[in-house]
A and B are shown apart, each in its own frame.
Chain A
């Protein structure tokens, strides 16, 4: 103790103290700062496997170095989340160029998807696959509902049934979609969707939205058949076809009944 006190005026002390302060600040920052939930550093072998898969399945459109061609965009910086979403929901590989990649049968197993994601993530930094704690859907359902109505319902409809966009593009249905994919769509903004970054909607709020969507997926239809939750158009169609049909059938029956 004395030795330390004696050397406190040593010329190197100030430099040492500065260094200590910087190290502490850095450690504290890296501990407390909101950070991208990073996937475990991809093993080199996984990247290697991903590259093979990429060359075999994706490079026709995205180029041999994933640099992009005139039919497919560059994948530098799209991040693992993008790959996990696009391939994990069957949107990629795309069967044919169209206005929008439709949700389809998933073509790869999860380890293969992870390998592809690892390879694409290794090209340039981008949004990683989200931490499971934000995609479990155990958040505040009511708050999620409010956030959903303000941020999502204008395209995806009040019940997540989907809606039309311009020129054949559309906001797909959000019913029975995995929480992970909902989160990834929000951070990567696939197709026509805008990006909702963490400053815009915090990870916790994203979890709330996922919770709301999972809640309405599980909700029983208290009012009976929901007619696709598409609003008054399907109700009107039902009234004309089934309502009027039944009424006319009964009227014909009664009209024929002899007095």
Chain B
């Protein structure tokens, strides 16, 4: 677990560095001052020193989670500003502020205070837009971070817990966002609440009770805004911040994963310590993220509540959509056919609404949270993994991920079917029919295409290792033959291409033991073996040293076109030399 076991990579580079004169805590004490004073009273130097010395690897994709973290902090800061002026009340007032097109209009206090923040509080509109854009960026960055973790297999042991925490964080952030944009009580957010009320009512039998419970009576009532406010500023932020602290704490405890490369093993982390390198880099990145969000917020309108007008249950506007992260659920509603609603036993069952609005989110997040455990069961792999997979080296997982992403994308695009219709001059009916079909057809195609691309990339890697880079130099030999000269890869480049292991499908044990007694788990084993074959039947073995020697022996290192390696020749015994990464001199 420690980062100092193996002096390799960057650690090795610093081998000649002067060692710290004494332990961090001792050092601080020697310096005295505030740090020493604090340490004397709290003993904080040791844990802080542990955190500060933690080594993190450098890669841009590891910063996506940071973008999410900083966006969340921006939301907390700007949200606090907004609470100074926002009035979470449905009480009716007549507007007489400075926005002329609303003067004399009756509206709720919540809406009036939001309009006031936008037009009468200095800097209010900018902060409101920062809050909303940062919220969108929070969920964008969080989702992309999640994709990075999925496609590189960073969720594998020992990080399954953190993956589950991440899915919970992701799901709660959707609800937090929904609660937030429902607060201003403008026409769009009221429409969203009306839809939410409909979703609750679609729960069979209990629906109307549920909706009366949440809204404290019939829609809209006066309770929902103060209730949502408590949820939005107290309950969910507390849970989000708490879970997030555990999330990042686990990253420190379990150490960060790294991409494979020379000098990087499952037992080390090659990178730089938090103090001073990452403290500076990450601190600087916070200001970059804040700067980008502020720039966008200063230049681009988001949620112009003054244009939507105050909420009133009778009107609704064309183009009523939720914010993007709720789009997939809205899209599911738009795609689900109406005949799923029927009456039985004196109750109405609105499955056309319920499947998309109530079931989809828990089912989707449930599957996401379950995936690491499923994959672990299928592969039977109980080892710890601190080296990331290149997505191409696990084609089936990558394919499944892209298929799921495609499914999600179809639903998300369906939520914008009316905007697509007017902007692309298409029929909304056609778009809906096409997307309905795409929901079922596109994911398998995406899976198959992705898997083939991954396998091809692996073959390309293997080819590159065995035959080197094509230099484009044509050489003519003394006896008149031509060949293209290939330049062998240096061993550092090569290592990255051959370091991974090829998984093999689990072999089905015979269903009976030596006494002919049927195994109690025979059926389960069969399923497992079948899934394992689904995962690993098609595979490309990474080139082994034996392959490499054979390829070199084969001639002058020039291309002897080789079809995909057959299973026999490409499954050599693992040689220790292959598993040993080359060390940087």
Contacts and interface: CB of A to CB of B under 8 A. Distances in A.
A235 B319 CA distance: 12
Nearest to B66: A251
Given A146-B105, A154-B318, A254 B284 contact: yes
A164 interface: yes
A157 B317 contact: yes
13 contacts: A159-B304, A162-B422, A163-B319, A163-B422, A171-B318, A224-B298, A225-B301, A233-B319, A236-B327, A247-B67, A248-B60, A250-B285, A255-B60
A250 B277 CA distance: 17
A226 interface: yes
A108 to B, nearest CB: 25
A193 to B, nearest CB: 13
A259 B272 contact: yes
Nearest to B289: A247
Contacts of B317: 149, 153-154, 157-158, 163, 231
A168 to B, nearest CB: 4
Given A216-B307, A230-B319, A248-B60, A142 B104 contact: yes
B456 interface: no
B144 to A, nearest CB: 7
A240 B281 CA distance: 24
B301 A231 contact: no
B323 interface: yes
A153 B316 contact: yes
A161 interface: yes
Contact of B301 (A143, A212, A224): A224
B301 A255 contact: no
Interface string A203-237: 00000000010011001011111110111111111
Nearest to B67: A247
Contact of A235 (B318, B324, B415): B324
A226 B429 contact: no
Closest 3 pairs between A and B when the two form their complex, measured CB to CB:
A163-B318, A236-B324, A223-B301
B318 A162 contact: yes
A164 B418 contact: yes
Contacts of A171: 318
Instruction: Tell which of A155, A165, A255 has the most Cβ of chain B within 10 Å.
Output: A255
A224 B303 CA distance: 11
Contact of A236 (B136, B188, B293): B136
Given A153-B187, A257-B281, A235 B302 contact: yes
A255 B300 CA distance: 28
B140 A244 contact: yes
Contacts of A150: 312, 314-315
B419 interface: yes
Interface residues of B, number: 75
A239 B140 contact: yes
Interface string B136-155: 11001100100000000000
Contacts of B309: 145-146, 149, 153, 158
A239 B315 contact: no
Contacts of A163: 317-319, 418, 422
B335 to A, nearest CB: 15
Interface string B524-545: 0000000000000000000000
Contacts, number: 208
A184 B125 CA distance: 37
B289 A238 contact: no
B327 to A, nearest CB: 7
Interface in A30-78: none
Contacts of A154: 315-318
Instruction: Tell which of B101, B285, B289, B303 has the most Cβ of chain A within 10 Å.
Output: B101
Nearest to A146: B105
Contacts of B104: 142-143
Contacts of B297: 224
Given A162-B318, A222-B119, A244 B144 contact: yes
Contacts of B119: 222
B322 interface: yes
Nearest to A236: B324
Instruction: Tell which of B60, B303, B429 has the most Cβ of chain A within 10 Å.
Output: B60
Interface of B: 58-64, 66-67, 100-105, 118-119, 125, 129, 133, 136-137, 140-141, 144, 187-188, 272, 277, 281, 284-285, 288-289, 292-293, 296-304, 307-309, 312, 314-325, 327, 415-419, 421-422, 425-430
Contact of A225 (B133, B299, B318): B299
A231 B144 CA distance: 23
Main secondary structure of the interface of A (DSSP, over half): helix
A228 to B, nearest CB: 8
Q: How large is the interface on A (under 10, 10 to 19, 20 to 34, 35 or more residues)?
A: 35 or more
Contact of A243 (B103, B133, B303, B322): B133
B286 to A, nearest CB: 11
Nearest to A102: B425
A143 B106 CA distance: 11
Contacts of A145: 101-102, 105, 309
A216 B101 contact: yes
A157 B315 contact: no
A159 B60 contact: no
A61 B307 CA distance: 41
A253 to B, nearest CB: 8
B78 to A, nearest CB: 15
B101 A239 contact: no
B258 to A, nearest CB: 13
Contact of B304 (A215, A226, A243): A226
Given A235-B324, A246-B296, 8 more contacts: A143-B104, A153-B316, A155-B318, A216-B307, A242-B296, A247-B64, A251-B60, A252-B60
A243 B136 contact: yes
B318 A157 contact: yes
B425 A168 contact: yes
B427 A168 contact: yes
B292 A250 contact: yes
Contacts of A142: 100-105
A116 interface: no
A168 B426 contact: yes
Contacts of B301: 221-227
A238 B300 contact: yes
A162 B272 CA distance: 54
A78 B119 CA distance: 45
Instruction: Tell which of B129, B277, B324 has the most Cβ of chain A within 10 Å.
Output: B324
